[in-house]
Amino acid sequence: MAVLKIENLHAKVENQEILKGVSLEIKGGETHAIMGPNGTGKSTLASVIMGHPRYEVTAGTITLDGADVLEMETDERARAGLFLAMQAPQEVPGVTNSDFIKTAMNARLDEGENVSLFKFIKELDTAVAKLKMREDLPHRYLNDGFSGGEKKRNEILQMRMLKPAIAILDEIDSGLDIDALKIVGENVTEMKNPDLGMLLITHYSRILDYIAADHVHVMMKGRIVKSGSTDLMHKIDQDGYDWIKEELGIEDERVVPEENEEGILLGSCATREALEK
């Protein structure tokens, strides 16, 4: 059974400290949800766990079954069983989706070993059907011209094929229509097993109608400030975050509380991306 253990994690990007002491333990079979307002460090945590080179870990530890994750390159982390479904999946023109998945699967095998092509195609076809995806999507360039919802479904296709030990799903529900949300949720739930630990980053409880979470955490100011059961999530759904801020004496929950001249919050990735467009 896999155990991902994060202790007192601090990380910075461009000289700005974003993670300020995150501690979290995810065991195989468990599903954890992280909620929290925009710009509080949720995606940064996901990126740091996967080893995105832009982020510098300044303190704390991450281990997977006792092995030091911070010592591993990103591809080693993937081979060790870590998986991230990204909030905004990258488009990779020139690499077909199925080649990408096959390469990632082969990378997890011992040197010289390859997945059987017959088995691969069969499994891929089944996964595409289960996710009710367009049949041409595996053969197109990775995410290139995919609709928002197709990209999200494709992340789950990769997860189905790669069978990670620890999966982090960053806003897998955003941009999905009601039917797609149900399909994605049911697919993820079907994958649940004692060897899979999951971290779901989400803003809304509706995805948790399809994927039951055992633990719910709230992130503010670059750390987990509150943990509880699904009751916590329902209360946030109803009452928002103000009561938590009041309870903990937090005035501004963002990690980087700056605003530009139009008063637009620069704190959240979503906003930053929108401004860059």
Residues in touch with ligand ATP (CB under 6 A): 13-14, 18, 36, 38-44, 54, 87, 255-256, 267-270, 272
Residue 43 is a binding residue for Mg ion (CB under 5 A): yes
Select from Mg ion, ligand ATP, none the partner in contact with residue 154, using the beta carbon and a kind-dependent cut-off of 5 to 8 Å.
none
**Beta pairing, strands 92-96 & 223-228:** unpaired
| Nearest distance, CB of residue 222 and ligand ATP, angstroms | 7
| Nearest distance, CB of residue 263 and ligand ATP, angstroms | 16
Select from Mg ion, ligand ATP, none the partner in contact with residue 213, using the beta carbon and a kind-dependent cut-off of 5 to 8 Å.
none
Residue number with CB closer to ligand ATP (134 or 272): 272
Residue 202 is a binding residue for Mg ion (CB under 5 A): no
Other CB atoms within 10 Å distance of the CB of residue 251: 8
Euclidean distance between the first and final Cα of the chain, in Å?
A: 43
Residue number with CB closer to ligand ATP (133 or 199): 199
Residue 187 is a binding residue for Mg ion (CB under 5 A): no
Whether the CB-CB separation of 167 and 85 falls below 8 Å is answered with yes
Count Cα neighbours of 196 within 13 Å in the Cβ-side half-sphere: 20
| Integer Cα distance of 181 and 209 in angstroms | 10
Count Cα neighbours of 215 within 13 Å in the Cβ-side half-sphere: 17
| Nearest distance, CB of residue 155 and ligand ATP, angstroms | 15
Q: What are phi and psi of 22, to 5 degrees?
A: -90, 130
| Nearest distance, CB of residue 275 and ligand ATP, angstroms | 10
Query: Which residues on adjacent β-strands are paired with residue 7?
Result: 61
| Nearest distance, CB of residue 35 and Mg ion, angstroms | 11
Residue number with CB closer to ligand ATP (111 or 258): 258
SS (HEC) of 184-233 = HHHHHHHHCCCCCEEEEECCCHHHHHCCCCCEEEEEECCEEEEEECHHHH
Residue number with CB closer to ligand ATP (45 or 105): 45
| Integer Cα distance of 143 and 149 in angstroms | 11
Residue number with CB closer to ligand ATP (105 or 199): 199
Residue number with CB closer to Mg ion (101 or 169): 169
Residue number with CB closer to ligand ATP (44 or 158): 44
In this chain, which stretch among 39-47, 49-57, 116-124, 144-152 interacts with Mg ion, using CB under 5 A?
Answer: 39-47
> What is the sign of the dihedral through the CA atoms of 211, 216, 219 and 222?
negative
Least Cα distance to 83 among 163, 19, 140, 13 occurs for 163
**Binding track over 82-101 against Mg ion, x by CB under 5 A:** -----x--------------
Select from ligand ATP, Mg ion, none the partner in contact with residue 139, using the beta carbon and a kind-dependent cut-off of 5 to 8 Å.
none
Give me the residues that bind Mg ion (CB under 5 A), please.
42-43, 87
